[in-house]
Chains A and B, each alone.
Chain A
Amino acid sequence: MSKGEDHELVARVVSAQDTAAFGELVRRHQSQVRNFLRKLAGDVTLADDLAQDCFMHAWDKLQTFSGRGTFIGWLLKVAYTTFLQSKRKSKRYAEILQEAGHAADMESRSHTMQSDEVTDLDKFLAVLSEEERAIMVMSYACGLSHREISDATEMPVGTVKSVIFRGKEKIRTSFDIKDHQHG
């Protein structure tokens, strides 16, 4: 998955509205985007829906990709924005339902959405705030540099570093990660 090939495909999409080239970009990066959103949303179906929306937004905004960084860095920025927008919408939806007296129904639904299978990673992610979770996932699961995370989250590099430091500290204090190191 070379950077040059990605940029070539992007150029084809932007210049000729080539949906086949866009399909190739989706094929190349869907796994990372879906994994990223699954870790953020904690729900596979919701994450996959968000991933679809993310690629739709990516198609609309592709001409804004400057080509400076990696395409996956830019794509994860779109994915993160899509996630935050959906969060805002669902929060508003919950508020409307609550106003209409459906709070109990919503609560029971949110409980059934929780996965039965709770992994170690889920436990680690649970102690982090939403922002810390996004940044830690971008850094340790997607391998983005601090600069790329800074671009994706629109935060200064120094803030990104301190959020990562804080996240690591929380994981360290909440779990004895040395035990994991030795099995």
Chain B
Amino acid sequence: MAERIKDAEDRLLESMFESAPVADDGFSVNVVRRLNRRLWLRRLTLPVGGAIGASVAVKPLTGLVKSLSGLVTLIPQDLLSTTTSLIPQAQTIVLGAMLLAAILLGMRALEE
């Protein structure tokens, strides 16, 4: 309290407001324990949420993949046959890339 000059009344009030230090008696241990418990819960929340989300999303995701593979039929047959002859796994690669992009976007959204 450097900014104010204490008079006799201030000193008297200080002595009246003074109280004995409170013994720790496991208080700090309890706080740290509660904190650790909370941190564990937070760490578990994301993977558990992700797992639940994935299990819910499996069905619509399969439908999405099917409809995307259906889109391949819209690509002109000439182009498709040329690509397939050049790269036999072209369809799988395109679908895989699209799925990867979707997963990465989903992970980023979850992280945020």
User: Does residue A126 face the partner (Cβ distance < 8 Å to B)?
Assistant: no
Across the interface, do B31 and A120 meet the contact criterion of CB distance under 8 Å? no
Bound complex: CA A20 to CA B9 (Å):
42
Across the interface, do B13 and A146 meet the contact criterion of CB distance under 8 Å? no
Bound complex: CA A56 to CA B35 (Å):
7
User: Does residue A168 face the partner (Cβ distance < 8 Å to B)?
Assistant: yes
Across the interface, do B31 and A140 meet the contact criterion of CB distance under 8 Å? no
Bound complex: CA A59 to CA B17 (Å):
28
Q: Please, which residue of chain B has its CB at the minimum distance from the CB of A172?
A: B9
Across the interface, do B17 and A22 meet the contact criterion of CB distance under 8 Å? no
Across the interface, do B21 and A31 meet the contact criterion of CB distance under 8 Å? yes
User: Does residue B112 face the partner (Cβ distance < 8 Å to A)?
Assistant: no
| Cβ-neighbour of A19 out of B1, B30, B35 (below 8 A) | B35
User: Does residue B19 face the partner (Cβ distance < 8 Å to A)?
Assistant: yes
| Cβ-neighbour of B22 out of A17, A20, A34, A145 (below 8 A) | A34
User: Does residue B99 face the partner (Cβ distance < 8 Å to A)?
Assistant: no
User: Does residue A81 face the partner (Cβ distance < 8 Å to B)?
Assistant: no
User: With a CB–CB cut-off of 8 A, which chain A residues contact B66?
Assistant: none
Segment among A47-55, A83-91, A102-110 that sits at the interface with chain B: A47-55
Bound complex: CA A136 to CA B18 (Å):
12
Bound complex: CA A136 to CA B22 (Å):
19
Across the interface, do A147 and B17 meet the contact criterion of CB distance under 8 Å? no
Q: Please, which residue of chain B has its CB at the minimum distance from the CB of A144?
A: B1
User: With a CB–CB cut-off of 8 A, which chain B residues contact A168?
Assistant: 9, 13
Known interface pairs A26-B32, A30-B31; 14 further A-B residue pairs with C-beta atoms within 8 A, sorted by A's residue number: A19-B36, A26-B27, A26-B31, A27-B28, A35-B19, A38-B19, A39-B19, A55-B35, A56-B38, A120-B16, A143-B14, A145-B3, A146-B4, A177-B9
**B interface residues (Cβ-Cβ under 8 A, vs A):** 1-4, 8-10, 12-14, 16-19, 21-24, 27-32, 34-36, 38-39
- Can you spell out 18 A-B residue pairs with CB atoms less than 8 angstroms apart? A19-B32, A22-B32, A23-B29, A26-B27, A27-B24, A30-B22, A30-B31, A31-B22, A35-B19, A48-B27, A52-B34, A56-B31, A59-B35, A136-B13, A139-B1, A140-B14, A141-B14, A147-B3
In the complex, the 4 A-B pairs of residues with the closest C-beta atoms, listed nearest first: A140-B17, A141-B17, A26-B28, A23-B32
